[in-house]
Amino acid sequence: MDITVVGAGYVGLVSAACFADFGHSVTCVDTDSTKVENLKIGTIPIFEPGLDDLVTRNISADRLRFTTNLKAAVKGASVIFIAVGTPSRRGDGHADLSYVYQAARDIAGTVEGYTIIVLKSTVPVGTGDEVESIIRSARPDLQFSVVSNPEFLREGAAIGDFKRPDRIVIGTEEERARDVMSEVYRPLFLNQSPIFFTERRTSELIKYASNAFLAVKITFINEIADLCELADANVQDVARGMGLDNRIGQKFLHAGPGYGGSCFPKDTAALVKTAQDYGGALRIVETAAAVNDQRKRAMARKVIAACGGSVKGKTIGLLGLTFKPNTDDMRDAPSIAIVQALLDAGATVNVTDPIGMAQAQGVISGVTFYPDAYTCADNASALVLVTEWDAYRALDFPRLRELMHLPILVDLRNVYRAAEIERHGFIYNSVGHKP
């Protein structure tokens, strides 16, 4: 099947590479000519495990092409995925749909014959209706369907999530579009991945509701963690004990420094706005977003408390800067607020990250960047584990102890257990356990 993917960002690129790997013939189009030239020779603009191999393999097999020429790319395609960005609109938190609508106008000017236009970008309920009317007014005689097919992949695990999804959601009221979309995803049905057909507007809302629910779940366990610290209980055991109930489930109950990334902060804000637009309210989501925002700086206060109430003139080392491991993405990373609060409190801040240093240098200033945990720990009065990269899961504590001014570890991801750290002479603080 001939597929075109508009947008070579995170979702577009992963989708294009995976569809090509299923055996489809895929053209991925982007306006950024440097990005496209790099992709043609297999140079990937983001860090995502396995993606470079997948792209290179499918370019060599002539199943995957990159271009800046949208007209040529959409001509003859049976299915066109719109996977452009929908960032937060400055000022009001709404999703900015200008790239989606521009893509719809560009597509409308060019396509021939029955075409399915699929919205894979995360878009508010009703966007499909708007895209349909843009295309309909440009091409009154064109036969086409606009389908919603949200993406649920996680950064750092994107290929696995795409190829072995918990579910595929397809929103359309049209039988013909259902049949074609079933063909697109046929390799996954053979893996028995559940496919869920629903109406287009409902499908659009499923994506936001899912992300908002996960954001609330994380925020809930983070507040329980705070209570555990006050009440001398263990949040990891609370989460495990809760999660054994199938209705609750084990996942997304890891307490930490608050969620970040390109999705949860933006999508919760957009969903709250959508609810307001319709005259409703999503108070739980609104509160979770506010609580999560405050939590990031609260983590710096936790570090200050672990250092005896002041970090003025002290050196603090941060391990991990990206919003989670296996990505170089710094968008809304908790590290940004933690660094700022420590600098405001008068600390000297050393930082390191296995992959995200270049991105971090664009958003964090006033700190010194080090190549690894040990150079970062040199002369530090405390180390703070912010992102749970594998490189920080088996630290050499005797070595760190010798390097550090004071042996204090604040583990914001609960990677270690108190007993194993304390036997090396460290003072250990974590999340959701009595300090």
Whole-number minimum distance, CB 119 to ligand UGA, in Å?
14
Contact region with ligand UGA (CB under 6 A), list: 140-148, 257-265, 296-304, 423-431: 257-265
Q: In this complex, which beta carbon is closest to ligand UGA, that of residue 63 or of residue 120?
A: 120
Whole-number minimum distance, CB 154 to ligand UGA, in Å?
4
Cβ atoms of 393 and 415 within 8 Å: the answer is yes
Beta strands in 33-153 (DSSP E): 64-67, 79-82, 115-119, 144-148
Say how far apart CA 430 and CA 414 lie, in whole Å. 6
Q: Is 302 annotated as a binding residue?
A: no
Say how far apart CA 3 and CA 63 lie, in whole Å. 10
The answer to whether 151 contacts ligand UGA (rule: CB under 6 A) is yes
Say how far apart CA 336 and CA 297 lie, in whole Å. 9
Cβ atoms of 65 and 28 within 8 Å: the answer is yes
Q: Is 30 annotated as a binding residue?
A: yes
Contact region with ligand UGA (CB under 6 A), list: 43-51, 79-87, 253-261, 344-352: 253-261
Q: In this complex, which beta carbon is closest to ligand UGA, that of residue 99 or of residue 323?
A: 323
Exactly one of 85, 165, 261, 265 binds ligand UGA (CB under 6 A); that residue is 261
Q: In this complex, which beta carbon is closest to ligand UGA, that of residue 21 or of residue 329?
A: 329
Whole-number minimum distance, CB 321 to ligand UGA, in Å?
12
Q: Is 270 annotated as a binding residue?
A: no
Cβ atoms of 405 and 201 within 8 Å: the answer is no
The answer to whether 155 contacts ligand UGA (rule: CB under 6 A) is yes
Say how far apart CA 435 and CA 427 lie, in whole Å. 10
Residue burial 356-395, b: 16+ Cβ < 10 Å; e: rest:
bbebbeeebeebebbeebbebbeebbbbbbbbbbebbeeb
Exactly one of 19, 81, 264, 370 binds ligand UGA (CB under 6 A); that residue is 264
Exactly one of 47, 66, 259, 389 binds ligand UGA (CB under 6 A); that residue is 259
Cβ atoms of 355 and 325 within 8 Å: the answer is no
User: Would you call 376 a catalytic residue per the annotation?
Assistant: no
Whole-number minimum distance, CB 69 to ligand UGA, in Å?
27
Q: Is 207 annotated as a binding residue?
A: yes
Say how far apart CA 220 and CA 432 lie, in whole Å. 12
> Environment class of residue 309 by beta-carbon count within 10 Å: exposed (0-12), middle (13-18) or buried (19+)?
exposed
Q: Is 153 annotated as a binding residue?
A: yes
Amino acid identity for residue 225 in this structure: A
| φ/ψ of residue 97, rounded to 5 | -100, 10
Contact region with ligand UGA (CB under 6 A), list: 151-159, 170-178, 338-346, 369-377: 151-159
The answer to whether 432 contacts ligand UGA (rule: CB under 6 A) is no
Q: Is 251 annotated as a binding residue?
A: no
Residues 316-345 vs ligand UGA: string with x where CB under 6 A?
A: -------xx---------------------
Which DSSP helix (H) or strand (E) runs through 288? helix 283-306
**Alpha-carbon torsion, ordered 49, 50, 51, 56, to 10 deg:** 150
The answer to whether 120 contacts ligand UGA (rule: CB under 6 A) is no
Say how far apart CA 322 and CA 320 lie, in whole Å. 6
How far does Cα 27 stand from its chain's mean position? 24
Beta strands in 25-175 (DSSP E): 25-29, 64-67, 79-82, 115-119, 144-148, 168-171
Amino acid identity for residue 175 in this structure: E
Contact region with ligand UGA (CB under 6 A), list: 22-30, 109-117, 246-254, 342-350: 246-254
Residues 71-110 vs ligand UGA: string with x where CB under 6 A?
A: ----------------------------------------
Interacting residues with ligand UGA between 178 and 237 (CB under 6 A)? 211, 214, 218
**Given the residues 18, 263, 307, 376, the one annotated as active site:** 263
Q: Is 348 annotated as a binding residue?
A: no
Contact region with ligand UGA (CB under 6 A), list: 33-41, 108-116, 140-148, 256-264: 256-264
Amino acid identity for residue 377 in this structure: A
The contact set with ligand UGA (CB under 6 A) reads: 122, 151-155, 211, 214, 218, 252-254, 256, 259-261, 263-264, 323-324
Active site residues: 263
Annotated binding site: 30, 35, 86, 122, 152-155, 207, 252-256, 260, 266, 324, 331
Annotated binding site for NAD(+): 30, 35, 86, 122, 155, 266, 331
